[in-house]
Amino acid sequence: MSSMHDDPRPGDVDTIPILDFGSQYVQLIARRIREAGAFSVLLAPDASPEEIMRWKPRGLILSGGPASIDEHNAPTCHPGLFDLDVPMLGICYGMQLASHMFGASVERAESSEYGRAKLHISSATGLFAGIPSDTTVWMSHGDQVENVTAHFEVLASTDTCPVAAVRHRTRPFHGLQFHPEVTHTPHGVDMLRNFIYEICGCNGGWRMADYMELQCNALPGIVGENRVICGLSGGVDSSVVAALLHRAIGDKLTCIFVDNGLLRKNERELVEKTFRETCDIDLRVIDASKAFLEDLKGVTDPQEKRRLIGHRFIDVFQQAADEVVKDGGSPVKFLAQGTLYPDVIESGQGHAGTAANIKLHHNVGGLPEDLEFELIEPLRDLFKDEVRALGEVLGLSPAIVGRHPFPGPGLAVRLLGEIDAERLFILRECDEIVLEEIIAANLYKATQQVFAVLLPVRSVGVMGDGRTYDSVVAVRAVVTQDFMTADWARIPYDVLASISNRIINEVKGVNRVVYDISSKPPATIEWE
């Protein structure tokens, strides 16, 4: 379940739907709109005029996408779309598609643009009100609009793209060849705000509390008289899902905490204490560590690890659901998960189905095809910082809302190579030291994810008067806003020295510590 498929908004909230043509950046557009104070939902690219108007839209955005409009099976929109009396903004592919349907030609550009470009604005009104006449924008296109008809006014250009922005003379359509939603377009947010307020006439009343209300209104109707089980890990995402569902459906929710043998040190005790003492939620703790570790014995491929873990989780949840029914509860029909938008994109399951598969997430890409549950994923439209904001609205404690992410497959994707009890023990101890030192240095809130990785290599060292040949541990620390991109954190040398010294001195079997200075992209945050 996702808000993009639900009933329209609670109350009289300005809404800007987005037709999703497959851009990696499409949810960034939705996020920028929500940040500006309007609500946004993603709709299929060929959504009918009736479906669009059901949302009472103040405006409509046509997203970018990787296709060319003349490709076989290239996504297109409903032929009646442009008969709607609704302001529209086409971005990249969205501009090309609309321009083509209005009679302009779209051709392969003589010089493709990928990266920053200098935009020359010829009409500094409307969409470009208050924007410098020369500004930097982020381009990512091989095709571009040419031979615009008399119906269009060209608003801006770059040195290699004469038609970088347009306005239809008689219909409420604007188009941008570049991406205003990314941070690489410095005034992009201003352009989107101009569209939202100056062109669409929105009033800026949308807040995260409205998202909570929307989900709380929709969930009871979806669940009916059935029960929902929620995989609670104690992390931010699953905690927010649990709190949201508990508010929406009350005692129809049962939370399952699975000890899969791949948890951080003392994690099970922490989760039990936190949720039993502070939340009136039906929480059941299942120790399935033996089964998980048996599944993973001898497995080194990271995708296979994720797949096996995902399948075993479902088996455990099914057994838990049977127990709930035996205890006199109503049938369990739904499984709730804390899937976020970056998870969906990295698993190649964007709304238009065109995103590249980077890795399986056990909560979106590692589930069996014969899954007996229906999924409820009320956070899958949100980024991590938005989930934290929702957690605050739901009244969760700062200690929970502010936790760094921990992957669903746990330490399995931070222990490279084969998994066994000895190596898991080493990784847990190293990871605990890393977190202790980061917290002691008051850097936990300044970073967004910090952890240790145990590498499948050994190196020569000297301890005392003897030669050692022991394991190598990598330390990973990143800063990021949305987890779609990230940079490595500039941890002070003295903190890194303390981490290294403690690990080597306190953890038997490790004689070398390295620091990961890779950004995302090209690397991902997790190593597997």
Share of the chain above pLDDT 90, in %: 55
Cα–Cα distance, 229 to 323 (Å, whole number): 11
> How many angstroms separate the CA atoms of 373 and 331, rounded?
11
Residue 233 has pLDDT above 70, yes or no: yes
pLDDT tens digit sequence for 68-120? 888 888 999 998 999 999 999 999 999 999 998 988 888 877 666 678 899 99
Mean pLDDT of the 192-214 span: 91
383, 350, 382: which is closest to 364 by C-alpha? 350
**Which residue would you say has higher pLDDT here, 500 or 267?**
500
Judged against a pLDDT cut of 60, whether residue 346 lies above it is answered with no
pLDDT, residue 464, reads 72
SS3 359: coil
135 pLDDT above the threshold of 60: yes
| Confidence at residue 103, expressed as pLDDT on a 0 to 100 scale | 84
Condensed to tens digits (0 to 9), the pLDDT of residues 3-18 reads 334 444 445 689 999 9
- CB burial of 141-169 (b: ≥16 within 10 Å; e: otherwise) equals bebbbeebeebbeebbbbeebebbbbbbe
Binned at pLDDT 50, 70 and 90, residue 392 comes out as very high
Residue from 181, 429, 432, 437 carrying the catalytic annotation: 181
Could you tell me the pLDDT band of residue 356, with boundaries at 50, 70 and 90?
very low
DSSP, residue by residue, 298-311 = T---HHHHHHHHHH
DSSP states of 485-518: SBEE----HHHHHHHHHHHHHHSTTEEEEEE---
Contact predicate 479/486, CB 8 Å: yes
**Mean pLDDT for all residues in the chain:** 87
Least confident of 96-105, 221-230, 316-325: 316-325
C-alpha angle with apex 49: 25 to 1, nearest 5 degrees? 55
**Residue 133 confidence (pLDDT):** 94
- Say which of 141, 168, 179, 362 is annotated catalytic: 179
State yes or no: is 92 an active-site residue.
yes
Work out the percent of the chain whose per-residue pLDDT is above 70.
Answer: 90
pLDDT confidence bin for 324, thresholds 50/70/90: confident
Rg over CA atoms, the chain: 25
pLDDT at 124: 86
Given 92, 202, 230, 430, the catalytic residue: 92
Mean pLDDT check: name the lowest of 62-76, 292-306, 369-383, 498-512.
369-383
Instruction: For residue 181, indicate whether it is catalytic.
Output: yes
Give one DSSP letter per residue of 402-417, joined into a string. Answer: TPPP--TTGGGGTB-S
Cut 0.95: pTM above it: no
Single-letter amino acid code for the residue at 496: L
